[in-house]
Structure 1
Amino acid sequence: MKVKAAVLRQMGASHPYAESKPLGLETLELDAPGPGEVLVRIAAAGLCHSDLSVINGSRPRPMPMAIGHEAAGVVVAIGDHVEDLAPGDHVVMVFMPSCGHCLPCSEGRPALCEPGAAANGKGMLLSGECRLHDGGDGALIHHHLGCSAFADHAVVSRRSLVKVDKDLPLDTAALFGCAVLTGVGAVVNTAKVQPGQSVVIIGLGGVGLAALLGAIAAGAAQVIAIDLSEDKLSLAKQLGATATFNPAYVDAVGEVKTLTNGGADFAFEFAGVVRALENAYAMTRRGGTTVTAGLPPPDAALGVNVVGLVAEERTLKGSYIGTCVPVRDIPRYIALYRQGRLPVDRLLSGIISLDDINAGFDRLHDGSVARLVVRFDEQGTAA
């Protein structure tokens, strides 16, 4: 079948993206789903910094590639051996398919799935196949993180999908596949924040704000938000942050240490900047934990004082996709959303059309939005 998709043919685009237009809207050929695969009509797809890092070349991927990884949609058709989904089901996409058989999957750590990571690195589906082709010469078009969600339809592995209730708005459902899994998961899975503890969040994009909501839901007594955007700090305050600081105007490290009597129990870094991670580490107390889910360029390195790490029993942890088990965590987070304890819909900054995707990435790059979502209508065309 023919699909309309946003395709990146060359990485390294410079901002502003609306002028350089690194993403071209192309008509591609999409194969039918193979064994263990599902054809999904995309309803909504979020713009994320992980997309932007491929566009600007800071996280290299094979080209050309159909971009997009945070999405929700409706099942249209299923391939052989898919027995627990049917046409009409609503699903959320997860950008790390888990094989269920490798050692990390066996240990309950599907975010570290080895075949899934290998397939993502090659721009293929979990099966090792590619279902997208150039509409003209039939050349292969790579899949972005097994999803390629900036398109009206996508074929994905069944292992990349979590079924959700049909009454959940799909614009909101899309955010659970990346921003919420990564942000909330970093708090409750990676760090295991307990009631009454103190938390610092650095970087208030969609993931950072989701983490802030997760910290509040976990019962943290202090939830301190750090960002360079006054608008995002204002939103963090509205969402329940107990204090906010803009490091452009104040010594944020000093302010946090004063407010927390020496440092926070946990500091989370979501900016993807080494300096921000250094600050997060400096903001934690003796015996505290620093968690990073930011993804800077591959050559970025952190210098840590080893004596302090040892003598103060500090912990420095990475968190990928919130150390999640998607089939377990997404329903849990949706339940909290329905109870009003995880107001994920407030992270949605606006709805755009697929035609405006390059301009949307300008807004994401500028830091003026938390999450923009491309919405498609019921026929699968860009709304």
Structure 2
Amino acid sequence: MDTQTLPLTACAQVWNGGSEFRNLSVDLPTPAQGEALATIDLATICGSDIHTISGRRPGPHPGILGHEAVGRITSIGPGGVKDFRGRQLQPGDRVIWSVTVACGQCARCQAGVTVKCVELLKTGHEPLDGGWGLSGGYSSHIHLRRGITMVSVPETVSDAAAAPVACATATVMAVMEAAGALAAKRVLISGAGMLGIVACAVAQHRGASAVHVRDINPERLALAREFGATDAAAPNADRPGLAVDIAVDVSGAAQAVESAFASLDIKGRMVLAGSVSPGPAVLLDPERMVRSLLTVTGVHNYEPKHLQEAMDFVHETRDTYQWGVLVEEPCALAELPFLMQPPTGRSLRKSVTPNAGTIRRTS
């Protein structure tokens, strides 16, 4: 696309704190070396953004929220940009991008822990008046900063399937890497939101012998069965003597964490990923950890490779799982303030289309 034809401003829904949003025109920056601009075709609403505006977790404001999105490159800075696999991107290419932007130079980045870069920036978490104002998905355009990871999206993957890959699906890939080999393992997943449903599918796809899911929502339990769960029940319906090799908590509920820990068999491993806002402390018996050879670890966000793995997984399983049904039909960007409520029923994500056009819902 010829940059001469690009608009001079982006249309964005800017969060002003609390439940207040305002529509605002934001100047489009000129991409510097290693940067790009993209239009946003679909942005899904992650639960963490709902937590932010409800006050459960802090966030800078005014700012543009939104970190699950898919779009197309419109302009590229000097020297070009590449996707994760090293392919030179061109205007018009369809991409998703990472939640985190790392410097690549600090000790943490050099150690492979870019998610905790000392100069970390986060998509949809930056102030409007800072150095990366156009950072969120609830906008017609996004500025893709140097250090962000871009992954190409196959045309056979729908917008509704692709957008959540940028947060939920990629995070699950990091969680399952921390869990270890899943083949022939008994797996417990606490929480059947977007992360839990994806975790079901991954566990089933990787050969788990049993996939137990616990959630309080009957409709989500039914959805879990469609995505690979072999046993889905309410937390208070735990089978007596349930023993698992791997427990994954994506609920963040203290009681669920304690119950998952109690279910671990000898050499069991628990991965915590849902505890991303303040909550009550839980009791984990250290003697039992020692005598039963247990491991407990935490995962927050993901590394660049997990974003590519997540897209590959959704593409590979597009005929096995109906990824698109997890996302509600999109609304206009102006409707965003009215969508900041937890989804109900079988829906796991609400969505907006910041630019006019038809949503791609082929899978």
TM-score w.r.t. the length of structure 2 is: 0.85
Shift of 1:380: 10
Instruction: State the Cα deviation string for residues 149-203 of structure 1 (Å, max 9, x = none).
Output: 011111121432222334432232112111111124312x111232111111111
1:156 aligns with 2:154: no
1:113 aligns with 2:109: no
1:288 aligns with 2:276: no
**Aligned letter for 1:120?**
K
Residues 228-243 of structure 1 mapped to structure 2, 5 A cutoff:
228-243=216-231
Could you say if the C-alpha distance between residues 197 and 323 of structure 1 is closer, same or farther in structure 2, counting changes exceeding 3 Å?
A: farther
- Kindly indicate whether the alpha-carbon contact (under 8 Å) linking 1:94 and 1:326 is maintained by their aligned counterparts in 2: no
**Aligned letter for 2:299?**
S
Q: Which residue pairs with 1:8 in the alignment?
A: 15
**Aligned letter for 2:167?**
C
Could you say if the C-alpha distance between residues 121 and 231 of structure 1 is closer, same or farther in structure 2, counting changes exceeding 3 Å?
A: closer
* Residues in 2 aligned to 1:320 and 1:167: alpha-carbon distance in whole angstroms: 29
Could you say if the C-alpha distance between residues 121 and 169 of structure 1 is closer, same or farther in structure 2, counting changes exceeding 3 Å?
A: closer
Shift of 1:347: 2.5
With 106-115 and 313-322 compared, the bigger mean Cα shift is at 106-115
Residues 182-193 of structure 1 mapped to structure 2, 5 A cutoff:
182-187=171-176, 189-193=177-181
Secondary structure of the residue that 1:95 maps to in structure 2? strand
Q: Which residue pairs with 1:91 in the alignment?
A: 95
Residues 83-232 of structure 1 mapped to structure 2, 5 A cutoff:
83=81, 84-116=88-120, 119-120=121-122, 123-124=125-126, 132=128, 140=129, 147-160=135-148, 161-187=150-176, 189-232=177-220
Shift of 1:284: 1.8
Unpaired runs of at least 5, structure 1: 12-20, 125-129, 133-139
- Kindly indicate whether the alpha-carbon contact (under 8 Å) linking 1:71 and 1:175 is maintained by their aligned counterparts in 2: yes
- Kindly indicate whether the alpha-carbon contact (under 8 Å) linking 1:210 and 1:344 is maintained by their aligned counterparts in 2: no
Secondary structure of the residue that 2:73 maps to in structure 1? strand
Instruction: State the Cα deviation string for residues 344-382 of structure 1 (Å, max 9, x = none).
Output: 334324333323323322243x6763122222445699x
**Aligned letter for 2:122?**
N
Q: Which residue pairs with 1:76 in the alignment?
A: 74
**Aligned letter for 1:174?**
A
Could you say if the C-alpha distance between residues 223 and 275 of structure 1 is closer, same or farther in structure 2, counting changes exceeding 3 Å?
A: same
Q: Which residue pairs with 1:16 in the alignment?
A: none
Q: Which residue pairs with 1:345 in the alignment?
A: 324
**Aligned letter for 1:280?**
A
How many residues align structurally? 345
Shift of 1:5: 1.5
- Kindly indicate whether the alpha-carbon contact (under 8 Å) linking 2:13 and 2:23 is maintained by their aligned counterparts in 1: yes
Shift of 1:290: 1.0
* Residues in 2 aligned to 1:343 and 1:103: alpha-carbon distance in whole angstroms: 41
Secondary structure of the residue that 1:193 maps to in structure 2? coil
Unpaired runs of at least 5, structure 2: 1-7, 82-87
1:372 aligns with 2:350: yes
Q: Which residue pairs with 1:50 in the alignment?
A: 48
Could you say if the C-alpha distance between residues 54 and 142 of structure 1 is closer, same or farther in structure 2, counting changes exceeding 3 Å?
A: farther
2:341 to 353, 362, 366: 362
**Aligned letter for 2:141?**
H
- Kindly indicate whether the alpha-carbon contact (under 8 Å) linking 2:325 and 2:347 is maintained by their aligned counterparts in 1: no
- Kindly indicate whether the alpha-carbon contact (under 8 Å) linking 1:180 and 1:344 is maintained by their aligned counterparts in 2: no
Shift of 1:212: 0.9
Q: Which residue pairs with 1:40 in the alignment?
A: 38
Could you say if the C-alpha distance between residues 380 and 68 of structure 1 is closer, same or farther in structure 2, counting changes exceeding 3 Å?
A: farther
Shift of 1:142: 7.8
Could you say if the C-alpha distance between residues 193 and 326 of structure 1 is closer, same or farther in structure 2, counting changes exceeding 3 Å?
A: closer
Secondary structure of the residue that 2:161 maps to in structure 1? helix
- Kindly indicate whether the alpha-carbon contact (under 8 Å) linking 1:67 and 1:143 is maintained by their aligned counterparts in 2: no
Instruction: State the Cα deviation string for residues 188-237 of structure 1 (Å, max 9, x = none).
Output: x1112321111111111111111111111111111111111111011111
Residues 56-67 of structure 1 mapped to structure 2, 5 A cutoff:
56-67=54-65
**Aligned letter for 1:39?**
L
Could you say if the C-alpha distance between residues 80 and 298 of structure 1 is closer, same or farther in structure 2, counting changes exceeding 3 Å?
A: farther
Shift of 1:243: 0.8
Secondary structure of the residue that 2:144 maps to in structure 1? strand
Q: Which residue pairs with 1:303 in the alignment?
A: 283
TM-score w.r.t. the length of structure 1 is: 0.81
- Kindly indicate whether the alpha-carbon contact (under 8 Å) linking 1:336 and 1:342 is maintained by their aligned counterparts in 2: no
Instruction: State the Cα deviation string for residues 224-281 of structure 1 (Å, max 9, x = none).
Output: 111111110111112221111112xx343xx1x53x4xx1111111112222222221
- Kindly indicate whether the alpha-carbon contact (under 8 Å) linking 1:66 and 1:142 is maintained by their aligned counterparts in 2: no
- Kindly indicate whether the alpha-carbon contact (under 8 Å) linking 1:353 and 1:375 is maintained by their aligned counterparts in 2: yes
Q: Which residue pairs with 2:309 in the alignment?
A: 329
Identity of aligned residues (%): 25
Could you say if the C-alpha distance between residues 28 and 178 of structure 1 is closer, same or farther in structure 2, counting changes exceeding 3 Å?
A: same
Could you say if the C-alpha distance between residues 121 and 174 of structure 1 is closer, same or farther in structure 2, counting changes exceeding 3 Å?
A: closer
Shift of 1:329: 1.8
Could you say if the C-alpha distance between residues 199 and 77 of structure 1 is closer, same or farther in structure 2, counting changes exceeding 3 Å?
A: same
Q: Which residue pairs with 1:136 in the alignment?
A: none
Could you say if the C-alpha distance between residues 105 and 59 of structure 1 is closer, same or farther in structure 2, counting changes exceeding 3 Å?
A: same
- Kindly indicate whether the alpha-carbon contact (under 8 Å) linking 1:363 and 1:369 is maintained by their aligned counterparts in 2: no
- Kindly indicate whether the alpha-carbon contact (under 8 Å) linking 2:124 and 2:136 is maintained by their aligned counterparts in 1: no
- Kindly indicate whether the alpha-carbon contact (under 8 Å) linking 1:76 and 1:87 is maintained by their aligned counterparts in 2: yes
Q: Which residue pairs with 1:137 in the alignment?
A: none
- Kindly indicate whether the alpha-carbon contact (under 8 Å) linking 1:147 and 1:154 is maintained by their aligned counterparts in 2: yes
